[in-house]
Structure 1
Amino acid sequence: MIGATHSRRMALLEAPVAPRTRTGSRAGFWAVAFAFAVAMAFSTVPAPLYPLYGFSTFTVTLVFAAYAVGVVASLVLAGHVSDRLGRRRVLVPALGLELVAAVLFLAGDSVPLLLVARFVTGLGVGMITATATAYLHELHAAERPGAPGTRFEVVSTAANIGGLGLGTLVAGVLAQFVTAPLRTPYAVFVVLIVAAVAAVTLAPETVRPSGAYRYRPQRVTTGRGPAYLAAATGAFAAFSVFGFFTSVAPGFVAGTLHQPSRALAGLIVFAVFGGSAVAQTLTTALSARSRTTLGLSAQAAGTTALVSGMHLASLPVFLIGGLLAAAGAGVLFKASIGTVAALAAPQDRGAALAGLFLIAYVALAVSALAIGLAALVAPVVTVMTWFAVALLVMLTAVATLTRRPS
């Protein structure tokens, strides 16, 4: 999800770039951006629909965790192969996995089927985020040689994080105003994914495969020292917030806050991810330390307001807290990426960043499952209070470690 991968571009972008016309690169850039946004949007389609399935909080978090497991597996096993096989050769099959998942969602609504569908979605997303991010960078460079990467940064963030929010908005609106709310959103995305595949097939390839390719899983490493530990803890805390909003939050809004509108649920998650994307874009010029301080402050304040809104059963307070927490989480995660990239040696950067994303997506699964399990024995508001305490402890640890010398 979340994104997963402005980081990996710093390792992936070293692939050889094939010479192409600027016109072809421009069209290819926007074709890949469209496909990237569609894939990320599809990954969050179920979020506003979970209350309609009638599942318990634990079941919802279990289904959500299947997605995170799929992403982790894909990042380790296939997230790097486009460096050698070619971006388009990996992106098209990855989009094919998303199409398979959409068909599975259309086939039924049993828990086993949804678990498989979400796992397959995760497999596709793990391949797409790394590949599409690198692809966009290379197409941008081919079209605008020597130009700053501002357009690439803005577009890739919008497609990645913005796409996550867009999926919930589209699904929520469709579920609210059309028939067959558990089928129509997936049917729409079948069409969009097919269009994305067609668009990518027309994009120029940017990697020339060289020689025989001997497959190996992505090497994953973790760094040492206070700076790396701060970055890893910050990534864990940031993705824990994202996990809450794409699993438990829509059900809480529908149940405890008595707001059953699917459109509203989709709008809330859209606003959360949109705020995160905007915050990441606006803080690009800041140093990693400044982003860390800003992200910590915003996430801590937002988490406190979020839980206060849950205790008060106040939708406005809940939403303001969520927006602030997600914006802080986005900035904090971006700072973590910058820290790890700066600490790692060039030859180890890809492995180090893969380790950071592994930690982030483990947080996505663990936080969702922990909330679901705790909700079996305690009210959701109580569970979220303890969840907020745990987040604040992690944020305090990040602040403390950041002040220590590396």
Structure 2
Amino acid sequence: MSVSALPGNQTPPPSGAAPPRRKRRELNRPAAFAALAVVFVLFMAASSAPSPLYVVYQQQWNFSATTLTTVFAVYVLGMIAALLVLGALSDHLGRRPVLLSAIALEAVSMALFLTADSVALLLVARLVQGVATGAAMTALGAALADLNPSHAPHRAGVVTGAAPTFGLGLGALGCGVLVEYGPHPTRLVYVLLLAGLVLAAAVVAVLPETSLRRPGAARSLQPRLRVAPHLRADLLRLVPILVASWALGGLYLSLGPSVAVGLFGLSSHVVGGLVVTLLTVPACLTAMALRGWPASRTLTLGAGLLFAGTVVALTGVEEDSLLTAALGTLIAGVGFGASSLASFGTLARMAAPAERGELFSVVFVISYLSFSLPAVAAGIAATHTGLHETSVAYAATVAFLAALALLAQWLHSRRTPDRTACPQT
């Protein structure tokens, strides 16, 4: 064949030379951003899926509220360990390898859930799941920030603030429906999640890599919490609202279905899922609706509604009024969403690319310590003093923290007027 006969008049390769390597197919940046958002939701849905099942496991294996919240907290223990050790790894190895490893580990946890026949195996499954989720969350947050579209530079903050709450609600409600109406109530949800993880791995494998390899990966595995000096003041200001909102979320995801059964006599597993959804879905919708608001106003609104909603829900518990408790949960969910939007959006916007992995590690450690430790304390208290008294004391503490966050935001706004807008799409 002559040279001119080759397509495009290309020069033939030298005799014996290896054929040129084909470029690996990758998703474009908008598609990759959307895919990462879906993967984020999948991880969070998987993390909340066991919540409606806790009551089922408790009935099958006859364990106490203390054991129930321990199972819940073991997940957070694994997550925090992963955040401390693996939080900055994607800054060195790249986002894609870390995400693929996290998905594989999450799949292992789903297999453990499928075969769980005792509390011990349930604890192992939750621990593995926590490690996988912790490894994924910082890489997902950093990759979303890397892939921000140029016409909407703060969209990653919206997704990072909304995806956790939407995923938590979706997982809890979806599992509740499957447990109530589907076959094999303690198995089906994990089969579906496992299939979703297989699809997620296939998608992540064709994502563009947004973080170049750089030295120091082994050194980054040393457990540490570090925040760049110029970010510390803003992070410290956000601590009260992070603690208040995530502590409330921990109560709903650990003991919420038990409260529905024990205090209001609602035995439907769908209701157990709705308890979580009533908090998390309004949070997600709020994060989307308020994305153009100034950060200072959004934080103030979030703290105020978190306080008001918790007080209303507490009133419902005290008066044995399901409607009042549900209304309070909805109001608190709006506050949760507003605070998450402003908190994660502000920090995602301010951090440089090389700082994002470490920063998200610190933020998630604060959030999930608040998510787990108070819930474990509540489980111990419920075992010894009763579910009603524990719920009242817990809600009162969250209301106090929300009031403290409101005060901190008011003092900050007096010193430094905030002209920074929240993330916009």
Amino acid in structure 2 at the alignment position of 1:208? L
Larger radius of gyration: 2
- The offset of 1:286, in angstroms, is 2.4
- Which residue of 1 is the match for residue 29 of structure 2? 25
- Which residue of 2 is the match for residue 367 of structure 1? 374
Distance 1:247 1:135, change over 3 A: same
**Equivalent residue in structure 2 for 1:290, among 269, 273, 297:** 297
Amino acid in structure 1 at the alignment position of 2:377? A
- Which residue of 2 is the match for residue 105 of structure 1? 113
- Which residue of 2 is the match for residue 231 of structure 1? 238
The reply to whether residue 181 of structure 1 matches residue 185 of structure 2 is yes
The reply to whether residue 220 of structure 1 matches residue 228 of structure 2 is no
Amino acid in structure 2 at the alignment position of 1:165? G
- The offset of 1:403, in angstroms, is 3.5
- The offset of 1:47, in angstroms, is 0.7
- Which residue of 2 is the match for residue 302 of structure 1? 309
Distance 1:318 1:74, change over 3 A: same
Asked if structure 2 preserves the Cα contact closer than 8 Å seen for 1:291 and 1:331, the reply is yes
**Equivalent residue in structure 2 for 1:126, among 126, 134, 137:** 134
- Which residue of 1 is the match for residue 208 of structure 2? 204
- Which residue of 1 is the match for residue 423 of structure 2? none
Asked if structure 1 preserves the Cα contact closer than 8 Å seen for 2:106 and 2:129, the reply is yes
Distance 1:231 1:137, change over 3 A: closer
Amino acid in structure 1 at the alignment position of 2:306? Q
Map of 1:5-404 to 2, 5 A cutoff? 24-54=28-58, 55-141=63-149, 146-149=150-153, 152-210=156-214, 213-216=217-220, 217=222, 219-221=224-226, 229-337=236-344, 351=358, 354-404=361-411
Asked if structure 2 preserves the Cα contact closer than 8 Å seen for 1:70 and 1:123, the reply is yes
Instruction: State how many pairs are aligned.
Output: 384
- The offset of 1:64, in angstroms, is 0.7
Amino acid in structure 1 at the alignment position of 2:369? V
Q: Distance in 2 between matches of 1:225 and 1:205?
A: 29
The one-character-per-residue Cα deviations of 1:341-389 (angstroms, maximum 9, x if unpaired) are 7998998776555433322211111111111111122121211111122
Asked if structure 2 preserves the Cα contact closer than 8 Å seen for 1:241 and 1:326, the reply is no
Amino acid in structure 1 at the alignment position of 2:201? V
Q: Distance in 2 between matches of 1:140 and 1:20?
A: 22
- Which residue of 2 is the match for residue 10 of structure 1? none
- The alignment partner of 2:193 has SS state of helix
Amino acid in structure 1 at the alignment position of 2:187? R
Which has the higher mean CA deviation after the structures are superposed, 323-332 or 169-178? 323-332
Q: Distance in 2 between matches of 1:119 and 1:332?
A: 28
Asked if structure 1 preserves the Cα contact closer than 8 Å seen for 2:27 and 2:206, the reply is no
- The offset of 1:214, in angstroms, is 3.7
Asked if structure 1 preserves the Cα contact closer than 8 Å seen for 2:90 and 2:357, the reply is no
Which has the higher mean CA deviation after the structures are superposed, 360-369 or 333-342? 333-342
- The alignment partner of 1:273 has SS state of helix
- The alignment partner of 2:403 has SS state of helix
Amino acid in structure 1 at the alignment position of 2:54? Y
Which has the higher mean CA deviation after the structures are superposed, 341-350 or 48-57? 341-350
Asked if structure 2 preserves the Cα contact closer than 8 Å seen for 1:39 and 1:125, the reply is yes
Asked if structure 1 preserves the Cα contact closer than 8 Å seen for 2:100 and 2:205, the reply is yes
The one-character-per-residue Cα deviations of 1:142-194 (angstroms, maximum 9, x if unpaired) are xxxx3113654555555432112111122111111122211111111111111
Distance 1:34 1:339, change over 3 A: closer
Amino acid in structure 2 at the alignment position of 1:207? S
Asked if structure 1 preserves the Cα contact closer than 8 Å seen for 2:285 and 2:337, the reply is no
Amino acid in structure 1 at the alignment position of 2:316? G
Distance 1:110 1:203, change over 3 A: same
Asked if structure 2 preserves the Cα contact closer than 8 Å seen for 1:79 and 1:218, the reply is no
- The offset of 1:28, in angstroms, is 2.9
Which has the higher mean CA deviation after the structures are superposed, 54-63 or 208-217? 208-217
Amino acid in structure 2 at the alignment position of 1:31? A
Asked if structure 1 preserves the Cα contact closer than 8 Å seen for 2:262 and 2:387, the reply is no
Identity %: 33
Amino acid in structure 1 at the alignment position of 2:39? A
Distance 1:135 1:380, change over 3 A: same
- The offset of 1:113, in angstroms, is 1.1
Asked if structure 1 preserves the Cα contact closer than 8 Å seen for 2:158 and 2:345, the reply is no
Question: Normalised by the size of structure 2, how large is the TM-score?
Answer: 0.81
- The alignment partner of 1:372 has SS state of helix
- The alignment partner of 2:385 has SS state of coil
- The alignment partner of 1:208 has SS state of coil
RMSD: 2.9
- The offset of 1:326, in angstroms, is 2.3
Q: Distance in 2 between matches of 1:69 and 1:294?
A: 31
The one-character-per-residue Cα deviations of 1:254-275 (angstroms, maximum 9, x if unpaired) are 2321111112222332232111
- The offset of 1:300, in angstroms, is 0.9
Amino acid in structure 2 at the alignment position of 1:82? S
Q: Distance in 2 between matches of 1:347 and 1:180?
A: 46
Amino acid in structure 2 at the alignment position of 1:120? V
